[in-house]
Amino acid sequence: MIRRMTATLLIGLGTLGVTLCGLGVFSIWRTADSVTKAAEDALILVTDTLDDVDDSLSVTSNTLDGVAVAMDGLYTITLDMGAALSTTKMTIDEMAVMTGGDLPRSIESSLLALEALEETAAAIDQFLVGLQRLGIGSYNPDMPMDQAVAQASLGLEPMPENLRTMAAGLELTGENLSSLRVGIGLMGDHMLGLQENVLDADAAVSSHRQTMQEVRSHVVLVRQNVHGPIRAVAWGGTVLLVWIGLSQLALVRWGVRIWPSSFCASERPDIE
């Protein structure tokens, strides 16, 4: 009776072990398929994300390239403006020197000459009038010659001071243009610095983009080979469970061997 119970127990344990091993193999391969699919889905998501990041970096790089070109254009414009302002300042300085020095002095000299000419004109006018009274010639001007010269002097008299005032304004304009030229030069230097920063940022973005592309290549390679390691683990677990199942078959075989012996022992007294 005890041997029969033992045989039953061994057969039951062996059968249970084989069944559990079979279920284990089934679960391993089912889990392996699920893990493979989940890994592939995750790697696809990572690949898509890296593609989106690469597209964003590409747009950023193109934008930075455009900004660098615009900065270069602005820098060139500042150089042209600086050169134009320098030329304009030189012209204004020459005009200031002329209106503040040579031209007023020339007019003042002309005024002195007109004053002397006014006395001469008065004498000539009286001489011509005297000749007319003597019946020699005809002289009847609308305005005596000395008065005409006096009016010319009167019209030229404020001009030297006005020209010196104009020269002062031109000098101030020249100073303002000089300050403006310095400011534009500083702005050009600032633009050049910004352009260098933009180029450095573009280089950094290009480097990050290259890194993203390398990471994507590795992810694609892992995605192509992800089933290999998982299947290797599944095959390892399968071999282990098969080996354990075979050992459980040994228990079943042992129980089967015990069973007939116990049966013969129980039948032998009846035969006697």
> How many whole angstroms separate alpha carbon 15 and alpha carbon 45?
44
DSSP code for 143: S
CA atoms in the 13 A half-sphere facing the CB of 94: 5
Cα torsion 44, 45, 51, 54: sign: negative
> How many whole angstroms separate alpha carbon 133 and alpha carbon 246?
163
> How many whole angstroms separate alpha carbon 250 and alpha carbon 229?
32
CA atoms in the 13 A half-sphere facing the CB of 17: 20
Provide mean pLDDT across the span 32-60.
85
Q: Which two tokens stand for residue 36?
A: 């493979």
> How many whole angstroms separate alpha carbon 104 and alpha carbon 266?
153
Please say if the pLDDT value at position 166 is more than 50.
Answer: yes
For residue 243, the one-letter residue type is: W
- Residue pair 117/149 in contact by the 8 Å Cβ criterion: yes
> How many whole angstroms separate alpha carbon 15 and alpha carbon 38?
34
Q: Which of 17, 14, 19 is nearest to 250 (CA)?
A: 14
Provide mean pLDDT across the span 52-75.
86
> How many whole angstroms separate alpha carbon 219 and alpha carbon 201?
26
Please report the pLDDT score of residue 136 as a whole number: 67
Q: Which of 93, 91, 88, 102 is nearest to 163 (CA)?
A: 102
Identify the structural domains of the chain with CATH numbers, from first to last: 2-271 (1.10.287.950)
Q: Which two tokens stand for residue 178?
A: 């000089």
**Residue 119: which residues within 8 A CB-CB, separation 6 or more?**
146
What pTM was estimated for this model as a whole?
Answer: 0.54
103 confidence band (pLDDT: 50, 70, 90)? confident
Tally of CB atoms within 10 A around 191: 20
Please report the pLDDT score of residue 38 as a whole number: 84
Please report the pLDDT score of residue 169 as a whole number: 85
